[in-house]
Structure formats: C-alpha cells, structure tokens
Amino acid sequence: MLRGRRWSAADAYLRPAMQRPNLAVRTHAQATRIEFEGRRAVGVRFQIADETYSARAAREVILAAGAINSPQLLQLSGIGDLALLDKMQISVIAPSAGVGRNLVDHYAARIAVRVRGAATLNERSHGGPLIVEALRYLFQRRGLLTMAPSNAYGFVRAVEGATRADTQLLFTPASSEVGQVVGQAKLEREPGMTCGVLQLRPYSRGHVCIVDRHPFTAPEIQPNYLADPRDSDTLLAGLRYVRKLFAAEPLASFIAAETWPGRDVGRDDELIDFARRTGSTVYHLVGTCRMGAEESLPVDTSLKVRGVEALRVIDASVMPSIISGNTYATTIMIAERGADLLMR
C-alpha cells in the first residue's frame, strides 16, 4: 500500500520505465503463439481485436504469462507432452512432458463467527457508514477502502507433533452472507469475523492443458485440491485449531456464535465435506513450467526452456514447489533474478 492505494509490480517497475525508448507496451493483446525458426524462438505472434501481429526478438523471447497461460502458450507453440500435441494436431517443436504438470496451489476453507462488543467491517459497509468510508478514502486515503482482504495472519503448527508451521491463518474483521460464493459474496449487516485456513505445503498436484488449438479457448485447469489425504488431514487440523482459538480468551468474550459452518458440523467427515464444498483458491498457483537441474524438467536453472533456444520462462510457473506463504514476493524475486540472468 502507498498513500491508501495498492502498490503493484506494475506501479513499482513498469510505470517508471514507460518513457524508455526500448519499451513498447501493447494492451488488450493476446499472445497466440511463439514463433520458431527450427528450434530457435524468434518472436511472438499476438492478436489485438481482429488484427494479428508479430513481434520479432533481437535476442530472446521471454514468457511471463503465469502458471496458467505460460504452459498454455508453450503447448500451443509445440512444446509439451507428445500425446497432447498429437491429439491437438500441433507440430512438435520440442517434447516436454512436464509442461502443464505439477500445478500446485494453496486451498483455503473458512470459519465465520458472529461478533459482540466490537466493531467490524460489516456495519461500515452498508448505508450511511459506507458513504462516510467513501468520503474518508476520497479525502484522506484512509479507512475501510484502503484495507487488504485480510488484516492479520498467523503461521501455526496445527498438526499434532509438527516441528514447523504447517497452516496459515488469515483473519478478516468481516463475514459474508452464509452460502455465497467467495469473491461474489456480500458482507453481512451484523458484526462478524472470518478466519481462512490453508495448508502451507500441499502434496496434491494438478495440471493445465489445452483443450483445442485455439489460443482464446480457456485451458483445462485441474488443481486436484485435497486429492492427497495428507492435505485434508492438515486442513482438518487447521479448522479445529481455529475453533480452539476462538474458544479461548481473549477472543472468546467477543464471539457470540459460529455462523459458518456452524457448531452442528463437528465430525471429521463433516468438516472435510464442508471444506470441499465451500473452500477456494487463494490465487497462489505455481509450478506448471517447473525449473530444476533434471533434464526431464521443462525449464533449467537459468530459466531457459529445455529443447529449444532463445526462450525463457520468468514467472511463478517455474517454482518447483509452492512456498510456505504468499507467493507474490517470491514471484518478484524470480523476476529480479531473471532480469539479472538476461543481462549476463
């Protein structure tokens, strides 16, 4: 945050460089294919509205489309699993079975409670108080509209006998109307609080793969959340940890009741079923162009795509495994390291 506004990587890195003569930014552009001469990447084909263009690379092509679109573009360009490319009738540039594999993400389930004796965001987000908050933001850059989705975090050992933190807790002084989809939910009018629970090091792995040859078709995204029993065991331990936390002082004095899922959901199988039905991504997807020293992996330790020349991937998709926390800073670090490698 800076002066009440979210400060993004574009604010910190891109905007200060916009006046450089060697930078051209094209918005509303969809990359459709990496262009090759033999096995050397020489450019990128992209589309704006109904017009198709081609950008030629002087040295290297840099792919930074993220954990979903980077493997998608590689597959569309002929780099990927042979069976998939053959099925889609795409000419093979370089076989690489790992492209699109190893998808991993943090999956969160949430417990919400009714609050007493304390103010929460719920009351400030309706009617007159919301108008006041809008004016506070407009003139002071303070208040509700400057807040992050979560305001306090905890890294805890929820599983009995754990030697390091296995669960992240995300506290928000607000609660959504019960049963609504995360991201589309409206805040309740009564005071409430929510705690999100996510396993820090999930074992489950999924995939991203194209479903046809058209770049504007969304790929198949299968994260396989909670497919590994160790993931559901840890998430269950995290949910029970939060219930114990809410039942202990000083928090217990401020909690009137659990509203989501409710205390009638108590057995292990009920809690896991609740987590499967109502949990969601926290948008930490990584790993689909995994980096490593093994020749079988799509990307090497210099971020170069194996099997071709002059092509690198520099984004969260190169992470071999997910970090034990938010992925934003790590992704920026990968970009900084990639920039350093490019300058050599």
Active site residues: 284
* Amino acid symbol at 12: A
Q: Which residues pair with 160 in a beta bridge?
A: none
Let me know: does 224 contact 205? Beta carbons within 8 Å.
Answer: yes
* Amino acid symbol at 175: S
In three-state secondary structure terms, 242 is helix
Would you say the C-alpha torsion 297, 302, 304, 308 has a positive or negative sign? negative
Tokens standing for residue 158: 């929820």
- Report d(CA 126, CA 122) in Å as an integer: 7
The 8-class DSSP code of residue 309 comes to: B
For the chain, the residue count is: 344
Collect all residues with Cβ–Cβ distance below 8 Å to 97 and sequence separation of at least 6.
80, 81, 82, 296
User: In Å, how far are 68, 242, 263, 311, 329 from 239, measured between CA atoms?
Assistant: 29, 5, 12, 44, 27
What number of other Cβ atoms are within 10 A of residue 55's Cβ?
Answer: 15
Residue 259 CA from chain centroid, whole number: 27
Tokens standing for residue 37: 């001469």
Q: Cα–Cα–Cα angle for 103, 61, 74, nearest 5°?
A: 35
